[in-house]
Amino acid sequence: MTLPRRALLLTLLVALATPALAVRYEGQDFHDTLQLGGRSVVLNGTGKRQVAIYPLYLAALYLPQKQSAPEAIYADTGPKRVEMRIVIPLVKDVSAQEFVKAIDKGVRRNSTEAEMAAVSDRVKQFNAAITEVGRVKKGDLLRIDYLPEQGGTVLTVNGKTYGKPIEGQDFYTAFLKVFIGERNSDARLRAGLLGQQPG
């Protein structure tokens, strides 16, 4: 094989091995596709959680296939990921308890009494894992993955896993409803994650 052909082949192999990048969102790149739980998932949408004029985090939702309807997302039994990139601009860091409060509130607002009773102990388990994190700061990367082959929902922060896998697709659905449920706390973030408009 000639040198130019060998160089071309090497370039093609590198290109195939490198994940494609999605659109640049708020100055950051999000992978268009990635491997999760042994399967390929796609970027469904991105959004920004903002309070008043201050951004808190950028979020991305990954699914086995693109979906715009929350019910279809909840029903999908494959792996899923919510990725959160902390971008708080004016403070050094923030307590992870703020996330605990938001999750508790979001789950309660979007669950029936029966659903809440079914997941309440697992919500406490998840919140305990978040509490272990302590504080988060600008640049931190949180990933909340649903990995059915690995036991359920897994929380990682900057590559470190916190807590044990939390069983049940119903728990991950309750978690997703915090972001894309009908009674969510940020309509623009919800629309962005559902791929309906820029978040």
Domains and CATH numbers, the chain: 21-193 (3.50.70.10)
State the CB neighbour count (10 A cutoff) for residue 103. 18
Single-letter amino acid, residue 128: A
pLDDT in tens, 95-147: 999 999 999 999 999 999 999 999 999 999 999 999 999 999 999 999 999 99
pLDDT of residue 24: 84
Distance of CA 123 to the CA centre of its chain: 16
Evaluate if residue 18 carries a pLDDT over 60: no
The amino acid sitting at 177 is K
Categorize the per-residue pLDDT at 28 as very low, low, confident or very high, splitting at 50, 70 and 90. Answer: very high
Coil, strand or helix: which one is 156? Answer: strand
Q: Which amino acid is at 165?
A: P
| Residue 3 or 177, more confident | 177
Q: What is the pTM of this model?
A: 0.86
Please check the confidence at residue 11 and state whether its pLDDT lies above 80. no
Helix (H) or strand (E) holding 102: helix 97-110
Q: Which of 9-18, 60-69, 96-105, 176-185 has the lowest mean pLDDT?
A: 9-18
